[in-house]
A and B are shown apart, each in its own frame.
Chain A
Amino acid sequence: GAVVSQHPSRVICKSGTSVKIECRSLDFQATTMFWYRQFPKQSLMLMATSNEGSKATYEQGVEKDKFLINHASLTLSTLTVTSAHPEDSSFYICSASGGQKETQYFGPGTRLLVL
C-alpha cells in the first residue's frame, strides 16, 4: 500500500515554456501533498504544502506565481512550472500523506531540464 506515482519521470523543455507535473496517490486518499525540489547531492527542500480543496502554502523564497500548485482531489496534485528557465532545472519530488497522518510517501520524482 501507500503508492504514489508521478508523471512525467523526466522532461526536457525550452526556456520560457511551462511544464506540468502530476502526482497521484494510487491506493489511499492524500489529505496533504507536498512538493520538494532536490539539487544533485543535496537534501530535499520543501517548496509547498497543499491540502485538497484549498490554496497551497509556499515556503519562503518560493514564487507562488511561478510554481502553480493545484490539489483538486484527494488523489491528485499538480505542479506547473511556468515560464521555465535553465535555473529551474532540478529533480522535483512529490509526497503524500493521509491516514497515518505524519507519514509521507514519495513519488518517483520528475527530472526537469530546461534548455
Chain B
Amino acid sequence: GENVEQHPSTLSVQEGDSAVIKCTYSDSASNYFPWYKQELGKRPQLIIDIRSNVGEKKDQRIAVTLNKTAKHFSLHITETQPEDSAVYFCAADGGGNMLTFGGGTRLMVKP
C-alpha cells in the first residue's frame, strides 16, 4: 500500500518568511496529492491539491510542486502570517479514492 512521509514535524518561522513542507510517497501509481490545514480541534480543510499531470500549482500565497520521478511533493507558503499557524497534512491517493496521510507538520508563525 501507499506510504507517505512528511517533514519536518514542526516548523517555526518568523512572520513574513516562507515555509516549506516536504512529503514523499511510495506508490508510483498515485496521481492525486492534496494538502490539508487543521487548526486545533477543527476539521482538516483542503487548501490546495495537485494532480500528476502538472508539476506546479499556485493559489495566492500557497504553491505546491510535484516531482513524480522522485516521488515527492512540497507545500510552499510565502509571506507567512500568524493565522497560517496550524497543522498541515499532505496526502496521496492509494487507489479507490483512499488517501494516505503524512504525519503532519505543526507550523508556528511568530509575529
* A54 at interface, CB cutoff 8 A: no
Check A44–B44 contact: CB distance below 8 A.
yes
Chain A interface: which size bin? 10 to 19
Cβ-closest chain B residue relative to A102: B32
Q: State which of A71-79, A81-89, A106-114 sits at the interface with chain B.
A: A106-114
8 Å CB contact of B43 from A49, A97, A109: A109
One digit per residue, 1 when the CB lies within 8 angstroms of any chain A CB and 0 when it does not, for chain B 68-88 equals 000000000000000000000
Give the residues in chain A near B36, CB-CB below 8 Å.
Answer: 106
8 Å CB contact of A106 from B44, B49, B98, B100: B44
Chain B interface: which size bin? 20 to 34
For residues 35 through 67 of chain B, which have their beta carbon under 8 Å from a beta carbon of chain A?
36, 41-46, 49
Cβ-closest chain B residue relative to A4: B43
Check B97–A101 contact: CB distance below 8 A.
yes
Given that A43-B89, A49-B96 are known contacts, is A105 also in contact with B101, CB under 8 Å in the complex?
no
Give the residues in chain B near A104, CB-CB below 8 Å.
Answer: 34, 46, 97, 99
* A46 at interface, CB cutoff 8 A: yes
Give the residues in chain A near B89, CB-CB below 8 Å.
Answer: 43-44
Give the residues in chain B near A17, CB-CB below 8 Å.
Answer: none
Check A103–B49 contact: CB distance below 8 A.
yes
Give the residues in chain B near A93, CB-CB below 8 Å.
Answer: 43-44
Given contacts A34-B98, A102-B93, 17 further A-B contacts (CB under 8 A): A43-B89, A43-B101, A43-B104, A44-B89, A44-B101, A46-B99, A93-B43, A97-B97, A102-B97, A102-B99, A103-B46, A104-B46, A106-B36, A106-B44, A108-B43, A109-B41, A109-B43
Q: Which residues of A contact B (CB under 8 A)?
A: 32, 34, 42-44, 46, 49, 93, 97, 101-109, 111
